[in-house]
């Protein structure tokens, strides 16, 4: 489409708008996209902030059309608004060049019926380091699609990042997928984002030892990488900064002991960037890459080395401009630590995989403390909504129900920095934690029986939202929360005006109980239900002493 000459003459900036016109008449700004904001990035869908209340399906749960009929209605009943589902390369291109999207189309149709969105997980060249999801015709032809090699020269079940034919074939398949999604879904936008590959990285000691890799590793570090890291000097992780020697020449001189892992990160970043770029040419949805994180004692190669691990994120950010953000899969107990490692400038927090048993409380932390755009327990289809009255609701279902009641308020509060979150477990290193908001300190500890002092819950968490001055919505369970004026703000005295347990009916909040007396320890604290996620509205007062 060409801009009329007089429009360009009179309003040269109009060119910018025209440049943003892409995808067969769809304005890029009308597609789901991530709006920048320092620590408050937001996913916009049809122009409105959208919080993903998600869950990722098991690896073998989306391989047939019929599975959608059974799974998606259950997901909607769990109050998810988005399901993360694998799309396997072997499934969509069983014969080279012949693409089949019938199964995906059915999932999109059923998701629409259930008012659900989808995030597609492109299981292409790599899934958890390995190449199981590549089609047979790729796996069988090791000459055309070379494998990474071990230190002993053994070809692994991992396609090499140096396979130019592999990159070409994966990019073509991904591009066909995105073209298909554009045609089917551009108007409705059921599909929100795409994850490119899955937990990539090299498994085994050292690095890929194929002849191409050795040749490259013996040469100088490419200029683009050196320049990219130098330009990002202030955002290098301490671990990378400690190794980076900008005056060095070959890999070992520049990156010391980290050379193998940075080398692999560079290769994976280049590869995944090209695949994403090919897809975005057809349909530029937000695209992200997920990372398998190491446990505390693991060495690179025991976890996939060269994935977008937080130590080497700057390598990806320098080499992969087509990737919108990086997302940690968090199965380890140090949930808050790993989230914080991804809170780097411009990177929205999105947790595509989280461990199910601590998910309800970690979700509250993610949305409240890290202003996450989404959170997704892994294996969500293993949960079932209650079969009938009296059957208990899974805790993550309760969290998502509470968040769906707050879906107008929460993104606005996140954007304004008016949310907080915390999580506590019986084995947490600290017995209490506090957060400050709007001149008040909220100090939380796990609830205990007043008579015996024993814990009433082993896990607790809360999401705190300031709805207006002196008024807060608190979603959570298991905690006792004391609230007082923040001495850093002023020396006023303060107290609880009211605590109400609330739920939502349309636009109105309905009060189901007003908590006082024994339930508020005589007006001194919020005592949450130890087992069930509830929403409380708390009003505080303060004044001169």
Site residues for ligand DGJ, window 199-228 (CB under 6 A)? Answer: 199
Q: Phi-psi bin for 438: left (phi > 0), alpha (psi -120 to 50), beta?
A: left
> Residue for token digits 């059921």?
190
Instruction: Kindly state whether residue 130 participates in binding ligand DGJ, applying the rule CB under 6 A.
Output: no
CB of 301 to ligand DGJ, least distance (A): 17
* C-alpha radius of gyration, the chain, whole number: 25
**Contact 129/96 with Cβ under 8 angstroms?**
no
Crossing angle of helices 102-113/164-185, nearest 10°? 40
Q: How many residues bind ligand DGJ (CB under 6 A)?
A: 7
- Residue 232, exposed/middle/buried by CB under 10 A (0-12, 13-18, 19+)? middle
CB of 155 to ligand DGJ, least distance (A): 23
CB of 379 to ligand DGJ, least distance (A): 7
CB of 171 to ligand DGJ, least distance (A): 22
> Residue for token digits 């294996």?
379
CB of 352 to ligand DGJ, least distance (A): 8
Give whichever of 194 and 463 is closer to ligand DGJ, judged by the CB atom: 194
Per-residue contact string for residues 171-200; x = within reach of ligand DGJ by CB under 6 A: ---------------------------xx-
Give whichever of 107 and 123 is closer to ligand DGJ, judged by the CB atom: 123
Q: Phi-psi bin for 24: left (phi > 0), alpha (psi -120 to 50), beta?
A: left
CB of 86 to ligand DGJ, least distance (A): 8
Q: How far apart are CA 535 and CA 453, in angstroms?
A: 25
Q: How far apart are CA 138 and CA 531, in angstroms?
A: 50
Q: Residue 456: CA atoms inside 13 Å, Cβ hemisphere, count?
A: 18
Where b means 16+ CB within 10 Å and e means fewer, 278-306 reads bbbebbbbbbbbbbbbbeeeeebbebbbb
CB of 425 to ligand DGJ, least distance (A): 21
Per-residue contact string for residues 344-383; x = within reach of ligand DGJ by CB under 6 A: ---------x------------------------x-----
Please give the residue whose beta carbon sits closest to ligand DGJ in the complex: 199
Instruction: Kindly state whether residue 128 participates in binding ligand DGJ, applying the rule CB under 6 A.
Output: yes
Q: How far apart are CA 190 and CA 118, in angstroms?
A: 6
Out of 90, 261, 329, 381, point to the residue binding ligand DGJ (CB under 6 A): 329
Instruction: Kindly state whether residue 324 participates in binding ligand DGJ, applying the rule CB under 6 A.
Output: no
Give whichever of 23 and 129 is closer to ligand DGJ, judged by the CB atom: 129
Residue closest to 291 by CA, chosen among 349, 240, 252? 349
Q: How far apart are CA 516 and CA 210, in angstroms?
A: 70
CB of 58 to ligand DGJ, least distance (A): 7
The Cβ of residue 183 has, within 10 Å, a number of other Cβ atoms equal to 12
Site residues for ligand DGJ, window 48-67 (CB under 6 A)? Answer: 59
Site residues for ligand DGJ, window 291-320 (CB under 6 A)? Answer: none
**Contact 274/321 with Cβ under 8 angstroms?**
no
As given in the structure block, the two tokens for residue 350 are: 């999105």
CB of 198 to ligand DGJ, least distance (A): 5
Give whichever of 311 and 378 is closer to ligand DGJ, judged by the CB atom: 378
User: For binding to ligand DGJ (CB under 6 A), which residues are involved?
Assistant: 59, 128, 198-199, 329, 353, 378
């Amino acid at each position: 489409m060409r801009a009329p000459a007089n429009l360009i003459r009179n309003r040269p900036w109009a060119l910018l708008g025209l440049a943003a016109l892409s995808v067969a008449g769809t304005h890029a700004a009308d597609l789901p996209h991530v709006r920048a904001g320092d620590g408050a990035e937001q996913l916009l869908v049809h122009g409105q902030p959208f919080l993903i209340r998600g869950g990722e399906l098991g690896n073998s749960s989306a391989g047939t059309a019929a599975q959608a009929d059974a799974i998606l209605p259950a997901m909607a009943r769990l109050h998810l608004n988005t399901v993360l589902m694998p799309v396997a390369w072997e499934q969509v291109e069983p014969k080279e060049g012949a693409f089949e999207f019938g199964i995906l189309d059915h999932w999109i149709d059923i998701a629409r019926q259930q008012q659900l969105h989808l995030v597609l997980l492109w299981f292409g060249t790599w899934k958890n380091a390995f190449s199981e999801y590549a089609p047979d015709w790729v796996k069988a032809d090791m000459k055309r699609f070379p494998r990474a090699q071990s230190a002993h020269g053994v070809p692994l079940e991992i396609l090499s990042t140096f396979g130019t034919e592999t990159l070409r074939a994966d990019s073509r398949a991904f591009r066909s997928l995105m073209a298909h999604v554009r045609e089917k879904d551009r108007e409705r936008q059921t599909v929100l984002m795409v994850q490119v590959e899955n937990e990539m990285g090299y498994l085994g000691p050292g690095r890929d030892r194929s002849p191409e890799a050795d040749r490259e590793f013996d040469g100088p570090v490419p200029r683009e990488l050196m320049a990219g890291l130098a330009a990002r000097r202030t955002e290098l992780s301490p671990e990378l900064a400690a190794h980076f020697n900008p005056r060095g020449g070959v890999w070992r001189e520049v990156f010391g002991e980290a050379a193998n892992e940075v080398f692999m990160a560079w290769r994976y970043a280049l590869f995944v960037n090209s695949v994403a770029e090919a897809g975005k040419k057809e349909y530029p949805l937000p695209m992200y890459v997920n990372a398998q994180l190491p446990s505390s004692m693991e060495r690179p190669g025991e976890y996939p080395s060269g994935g977008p691990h937080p130590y080497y994120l700057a390598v990806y950010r320098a080499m992969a401009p087509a990737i919108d953000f990086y997302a940690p899969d968090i199965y380890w107990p140090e949930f808050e630590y790993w989230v914080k490692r991804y809170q780097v400038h411009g990177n929205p927090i999105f947790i595509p995989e989280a461990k199910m048993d601590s998910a309800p409380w970690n979700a509250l932390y993610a949305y409240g403390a890290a202003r996450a755009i989404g959170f997704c327990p892994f294996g969500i289809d293993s949960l079932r909504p209650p079969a009938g009255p009296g059957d208990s609701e899974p805790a993550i279902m309760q969290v998502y129900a509470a968040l769906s009641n707050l879906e107008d308020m929460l993104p606005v509060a996140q954007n304004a920095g008016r949310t907080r979150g915390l999580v506590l477990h019986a084995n947490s290193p600290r017995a209490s934690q506090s957060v400050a908001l709007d001149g008040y300190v909220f100090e939380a500890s796990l609830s205990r029986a007043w008579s015996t002092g024993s814990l009433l819950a082993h896990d607790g968490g809360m999401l705190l939202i300031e709805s207006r001055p002196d008024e807060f919505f608190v979603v959570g369970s298991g905690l006792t929360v004391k609230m007082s004026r923040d001495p850093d703000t002023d020396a006023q005295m303060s107290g609880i005006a009211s605590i109400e347990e609330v739920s939502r009916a349309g636009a109105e909040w309905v009060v189901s109980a007003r908590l006082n007396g024994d339930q508020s320890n005589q007006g001194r604290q919020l005592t949450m239900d130890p087992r069930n996620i509830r929403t409380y509205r708390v009003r505080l007062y303060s004044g001169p002493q």
